[in-house]
């Protein structure tokens, strides 16, 4: 059985054996110690894995749920509930997985191949925010008590990655379909919710689970997730010692440092505008590529990096990060700052007097309003900034109500980025934009594999030329923590580190 990443299953199995033997990293305690308090940017609307999410909510789900595959801090994929996996032939359309034996869920149910199949099928049919992760799955088959095969309708270079994310979270089969799963997670993970001490929308308390199959991943006696949607509430809680770690806005970084907190800063997201309405369903002007190009020319990207991001970021005109094979440094400067040319393009497109554009902003993105409104006003575009609750920002963006939005998102591996932003059925393509030429490039990229460069960069250039987005920067994302209590390993590709990356200090 050969892995799609050219990693033989026998090697994957050996890594899993080493992890189980206790090679979990420097500072791993022999037993859980103390309480970890994490400031959550967003509430968890449901604990149903079918509605599982990545981003800020991933760390919350990781407390209660294991994934089939786990990502190390450096991004390496290692065994978790799957001890080995690999594609069965060169078509890379059937992924075979061996499931770990001896694992139970918090309700006493046993993990086996049928439980994995049930969770994967539940995720496929739940139509959650990450449904695109299993859009190519045609069938999930049980081929033995602890053997599962995932058959794809077409190759998906990101499937193994997805099995370390929302799609790979496995819930107890007895809990699937039970409305109680919205309120209380039932997984095989390192922690179990203390329902009596948890308050929906405020805090979620988890206790280390007795008999967990990998004690090296249980760093704490308790994990408390405190919902702090307002940026000011997060910095105040961090400085006061009410939380041990949380994500901050750039403007709060100095205050955290002055209070003796440690800072991790990584270019995880890209910041700028998503120009959703590319066919002009709500704002007809956006259907003209010249209008979208004019919007790109309106922004002085260095001003946004310095003023909005506090200097944490790299100006760019394209949305693919350095870890992606689509990354092309030549595209960083594709759109310069040229408001005069922007006005000319608007006039050529038949809009010399500009037009009006409505966009949603929440507490976490309000700081961007002047950096959006004024540059576009300078070329004749009036922005109506609408306020939406932070908890609803993501669903609002995916609702096809807004023709454009400022909402920083993850710069993932190439195919994950494609399915996050470009395919019709994804959250961040709410108007279901399609382009025949782009479709052809993506068809070639899909079969070329995860390491393809030529096809990936052709795709990146075309998307940039067509101005599907108006990015400003590869954005430095700030995570702050109390180094006297906790040691945090940054997680590549995540603003908020995985739950396994929080270790007691010392």
Q: Which of 234, 160, 155 minimizes the C-alpha distance to 445?
A: 155
Cα-only R_g, the chain: 23
pLDDT tens digits, residue range 64-74? 999 999 999 99
Euclidean distance between CA atoms 44 and 202, whole angstroms: 10
User: Is pLDDT of 5 > 60?
Assistant: no
User: Is pLDDT of 183 > 60?
Assistant: yes
Q: Which of 39, 47, 46 minimizes the C-alpha distance to 63?
A: 47
CA 284 to chain centre: 31
Q: Which pLDDT score is estimated for 21?
A: 35
Euclidean distance between CA atoms 369 and 245, whole angstroms: 27
Instruction: Name the one residue in this structure whose structure tokens are 């995932």.
Output: 150
Provide the angle, in degrees to the nearest 10, between the axes of the packed helices 289-297 and 339-348: 170
DSSP state of 110: B
Q: Which of 304, 286, 283, 305 minimizes the C-alpha distance to 294?
A: 286
Q: What sign for the dihedral angle of Cα 487, 489, 490, 496?
A: negative
CA distances from 378 to 112, 257, 276, 358 (A): 61, 36, 22, 16
Q: Which of 7, 120, 130 minimizes the C-alpha distance to 427?
A: 130
Torsions phi, psi for 149 (to 5 deg): -120, 135
pLDDT tens digits, residue range 343-379? 999 999 999 999 999 999 999 899 999 999 999 999 9
Euclidean distance between CA atoms 64 and 79, whole angstroms: 17
Q: Which pLDDT score is estimated for 31?
A: 61
**E-only strand ranges, 16-122:** 35-40, 69-71, 77-79, 82-87, 94-99
Task: Give 393's contacts (C-beta < 8 A, 6+ positions apart).
Answer: 360, 362, 364, 365, 407
Torsions phi, psi for 476 (to 5 deg): -75, 125
Counting Cα atoms < 13 Å in the Cβ hemisphere of 74 gives 3
Euclidean distance between CA atoms 154 and 501, whole angstroms: 34
CATH 3.90.76.10 residue spans of the chain: 9-199+206-218
Mean pLDDT confidence for 76-89: 98
Counting Cα atoms < 13 Å in the Cβ hemisphere of 187 gives 30
DSSP secondary structure, 258-303, as one string = HTT-EEEEEEEEEEEEEE--TT-SS-GGGGSHHHHHHHHHT--HHH
pTM: 0.86
Torsions phi, psi for 168 (to 5 deg): -90, 0
- 61-84: b or e for each residue (b if 16 or more CB lie within 10 Å)? bbbbbbbbbbbbbeeebebbbbbb
Which range of 247-251, 391-395, 446-450, 484-488 scores highest in mean pLDDT? It is: 484-488
- What percent of the chain has pLDDT above 90? 82
> What token pair was written down for 55?
């981003």
Q: Which pLDDT score is estimated for 320?
A: 96
DSSP secondary structure, 55-71, as one string = GGGHHHHHHH--BSEEE
pLDDT tens digits, residue range 250-299? 889 999 999 999 999 888 899 999 999 999 999 999 999 999 999 999 99
CA 49 to chain centre: 15
pLDDT tens digits, residue range 419-433? 999 999 888 999 999
> What token pair was written down for 217?
């991943």
Query: What is the pLDDT of the chain when averaged over all its residues?
Result: 92
CATH class of the 9-199+206-218 domain in this structure: alpha beta
The yes/no answer on whether domain 268-476 falls in CATH 3.10.105.10 is yes
User: Is pLDDT of 113 > 50?
Assistant: yes
């Amino acid at each position: 059985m050969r892995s799609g990443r050219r990693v033989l299953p026998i090697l994957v199995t050996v890594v899993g054996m080493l992890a189980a033997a206790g090679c979990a990293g420097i500072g791993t305690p022999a037993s859980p110690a103390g309480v970890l308090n994490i400031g959550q940017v967003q509430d968890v609307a449901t604990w149903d894995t079918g509605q599982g999410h990545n981003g800020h909510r991933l760390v919350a789900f990781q407390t209660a749920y294991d994934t089939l595959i786990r990502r190390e801090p450096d991004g390496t994929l290692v065994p978790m509930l799957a001890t080995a996996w690999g594609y069965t032939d060169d078509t890379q359309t059937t992924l075979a997985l061996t499931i770990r034996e001896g694992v139970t869920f918090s309700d006493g149910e046993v993990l086996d191949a049928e439980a994995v199949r049930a969770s994967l099928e539940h995720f496929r049919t739940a139509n959650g925010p990450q449904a695109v992760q299993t859009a190519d799955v045609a069938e999930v088959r049980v081929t033995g008590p602890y053997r599962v095969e995932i058959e794809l309708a077409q190759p998906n270079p990101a499937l193994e990655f997805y099995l370390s994310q929302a799609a790979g979270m496995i819930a107890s089969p007895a809990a699937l379909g039970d409305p109680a799963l919205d309120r209380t997670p039932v997984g095989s993970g390192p922690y179990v919710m203390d329902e009596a001490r948890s308050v929906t929308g405020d805090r979620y308390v988890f206790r280390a689970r007795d008999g967990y199959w990998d004690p090296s991943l249980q760093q704490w006696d308790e994990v408390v997730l405190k919902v702090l949607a307002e940026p000011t509430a997060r910095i105040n809680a961090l400085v006061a010692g009410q939380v041990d770690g949380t994500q901050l806005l750039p403007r709060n970084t100095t205050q955290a440092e002055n209070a003796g907190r440690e800072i991790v800063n990584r270019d995880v997201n890209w910041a700028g505008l998503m120009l959703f309405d590319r066919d002009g369903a709500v704002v007809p002007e956006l259907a003209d590529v010249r209008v979208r190009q004019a919007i790109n020319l309106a922004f002085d990207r260095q001003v946004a990096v310095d003023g909005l991001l506090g200097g944490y970021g790299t100006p760019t005109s394209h949305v693919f990060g350095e870890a992606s094979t689509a990354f092309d440094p030549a595209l960083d400067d594709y759109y310069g700052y040229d408001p005069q040319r922007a006005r000319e393009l608007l006039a050529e497109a038949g809009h010399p007097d500009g037009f009006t554009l409505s966009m949603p902003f929440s507490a976490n993105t309000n700081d961007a309003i002047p950096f959006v409104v004024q540059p576009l006003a300078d070329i004749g575009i009036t922005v109506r900034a609408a306020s939406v609750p932070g908890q609803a920002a993501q669903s609002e963006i995916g609702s096809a109500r807004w023709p454009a939005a400022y909402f920083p998102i993850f710069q993932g591996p190439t195919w994950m980025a494609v399915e996050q932003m470009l395919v019709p059925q994804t959250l961040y393509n709410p108007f279901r934009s399609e382009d025949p030429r782009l479709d052809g490039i993506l068809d070639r990229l899909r079969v070329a594999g995860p390491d393809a460069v030529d096809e990936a960069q052709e795709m990146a250039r075309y998307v940039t030329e067509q101005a599907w987005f108006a990015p400003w920067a590869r954005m430095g994302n700030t995570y702050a923590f109390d180094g006297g209590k906790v040691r945090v390993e940054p997680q590549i590709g995540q603003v908020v580190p995985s739950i396994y990356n929080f270790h007691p200090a010392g």
